[in-house]
Amino acid sequence: MMGAAQPGLIQRDRARLWHPYAPASPGLPLWEVEAADGVRLRLRDEDGARHDVVDAMSSWWSVIHGYRHPVLDAAAQGQLERFSHVMFGGLTHAPAVELAERLVDLAPSVSGRPALERVFLADSGSVAVEVALKLAVQFQTASGHPQRQRFLSIRGGYHGDTFAAMGVCDPVDGMHSAFPGLLAGNVFAPRPPAAASATPADMQAWVAALGDIAAAHSGELAAIIVEPVLQGAGGMHAYPAECLTALRQAADRHGLLLIFDEIATGFGRTGELFAADHAGVVPDIMCVGKALTGGYLTLAAMLCTSDIAATVSNGRAGALLHGPTFMGNPLACAVANASLGIIGDGGWRADVARINTGLVSGLAPALDLAAVREVRTIGAVGVIELHDGVDVTAVTAAAIRHGVWVRPFRNLVYTMPPYISTALDVERITAGMTAAVAEVHERVPASSGSSS
Ligand SMILES: *Cc1c(COP(=O)(O)O)cnc(C)c1O
């Protein structure tokens, strides 16, 4: 036990560490994780009190099979006994080869034949996006279009925190204003209409706007990059799958590559294995990450067609110009293979459907709260959107009191539970989210009929 004079772990953290999108602040609210098992986290707060909570976030989309999964633990231990890391320049190993084969087999295909046949293993989602953008430019150059160096994206997107990735994030809500000299140059079509309310007229207008902007800039564009069907960190915005068909057509008409960033949506989260599968659209390049290792280790991948790979390899540069130190880390690949093995068993489909049912019924009561603007779900994702910004610290603390770990942002309190969550876990999550919003953002209980 620590004496009162010794600083606790949380104080030591505050003195030394950065956290995501956070100031180096003496007052940053933090909870220590003492243990994690299945869908549960054991948290300890600054006063030493313990809180057993259900993880509603899957540690940011990644821990789809839960913490300490026996199959993933065994895969990590097994590889640890062989070797943890070797360089990938000039060397190869079974976990990386097996992972590439698995990814190609799972990825969107054309009439049952693999369409994305070449895999680049990257160390994080942002890096996979960097590699995808780089590959697109190298492809255009090798195809005789060296002037095609810019990208077309849609507003409301999020693709990561490195510079090229930031450059295709939403130009207003993203980080463009903080780095104006470094992030200019890309073009943005409007955000697609919301899946829940899109009318045929909305769709027509959006497709026309997309076509106009693609036509206006076609000579200088290398690729279109979007998060298919669900924009995540840019606002948890679900849009109609038909938009993917329009994006494919716009790309084909103007000689652009189509990049799908499936880093959040991949591996079943939206109810199909990949969000692209909702429309049967095959991109030229696809990025995956987050859930790839079941949340155990950092790993991502970029897949592309054989044609792109051959064109770039035969171009003047003669190679794809990227190669991280920890490329194809064997430990991460071994765990990814175990995670994809579980995905391959197919149980995720029933899991995601069960979770969706629980989210739909469990979040419905939140609509009665005056502070709530909208409730929406897609697959194993549930969102409560408020009219105004969330008091993140207060809602997080309130949810913990109700036994749930959530991490709201902007005006959104949202969940993407691990696939192993039972109906009861989902009930606890939705009840906790709703109660936290009610306690923090409703002065007058909605049942009194207040409309403010
Ligand atoms: C999280 C995310 C990224 C970035 O991945 P990191 O591993 O955090 O670098 C990129 N694109 C999308 C859609 C994401 O959700």
Q: How far is the CA of 200 from the centre of ligand 1 (A)?
A: 31
Residue-wise pLDDT for 1-53, tens only, equals 444 567 899 999 999 999 999 999 878 899 999 999 999 999 999 999 999 99
| Length reported for the chain | 452
CA 190 to centroid of ligand 1, rounded, Å? 21
Atom number of ligand 1 nearest to Cα 232: 15
* DSSP codes joined into one string, 81-127: HH-S----SS---HHHHHHHHHHHHHS-EETTEES--EEEEESSHHH
Residues with CB under 6 A from ligand 1: 124-126, 129, 158-160, 227, 232-233, 261, 263-264, 289-290, 300
Listed as own residue / partner, the contacts of 11-15 with beta carbons closer than 8 Å and 24 or more positions apart are 11/46
Residue 223 to residue 261: CA distance in whole angstroms: 12
What are 309-338's pLDDT values in tens digits? 999 999 999 999 999 999 999 999 999 999
Residue nearest to atom 5 of ligand 1 (CA): 125
- Catalytic annotation, residues: 21, 158, 261, 290
pLDDT confidence of residue 174: 80
Q: Which residues contact 239 (CB under 8 A, 6 or more apart)?
A: 191, 192, 193, 194, 195, 198, 229, 230, 231
**What atom in ligand 1 is closest to the CA of residue 124?**
7
According to DSSP, residue 232 is labeled -
- Report which ligand 1 atom has the smallest distance to the Cα of 162: 9
> 280-308 pLDDT, tens per residue?
999 999 999 999 999 999 999 999 999 99
The pLDDT mean for the chain works out to: 95
Closest to 244 measured CA to CA, from 255, 233, 230: 230
The per-residue pLDDT for 5 is 64
Ligand 1 atom 7 nearest Cα: 125
- pLDDT for the residue numbered 6: 76
pLDDT for residue 4: 54
Q: Is the pLDDT of residue 249 over 90?
A: yes
- To which residue do tokens 């190869």 refer? 92
pLDDT exceeds 90 at position 445: no
pLDDT of residue 176: 86
Alpha carbons 118 and 310: distance in angstroms, whole number: 10
Instruction: Note the pLDDT of residue 144.
Output: 98
Q: What is the pLDDT of residue 444?
A: 55
Name the residue of 126, 265, 297, 416 whose CB sits within 8 Å of the most ligand 1 atoms, as the mutation to test its pocket. 126
- Average pLDDT score over residue span 144-153: 98
Identify the CA nearest to 174 among candidates 183, 326, 3, 93.
Answer: 183
3-class state of residue 27 by DSSP: coil
DSSP state of 383: E
For the stretch 337-388, pLDDT in tens is 999 999 999 999 999 999 999 999 999 999 999 999 999 999 999 999 999 9
Distance from residue 370's CA to the centre of ligand 1 (Å): 33
Q: Among the atoms of ligand 1, which is closest to the Cα of residue 129?
A: 10
pLDDT at 27: 82
For residue 404, give the amino acid letter.
Answer: V
Mean pLDDT of 262-277: 98
Q: How would you classify the pairing of strands 113-114 and 109-110?
A: antiparallel
What pLDDT, in 10s, does the model give residues 90-109? Answer: 999 999 999 999 999 999 99
Contacts of 3 by beta carbon, 8 Å cutoff, 6+ apart: none
**Do 284 and 304 meet the contact criterion of CB atoms below 8 Å apart?**
yes
Residues 381-436 pLDDT 10s: 999 999 999 999 999 999 999 999 999 999 999 999 999 999 999 999 999 999 99
Angle at 248 between CA 242 and CA 253, to 5 degrees: 130
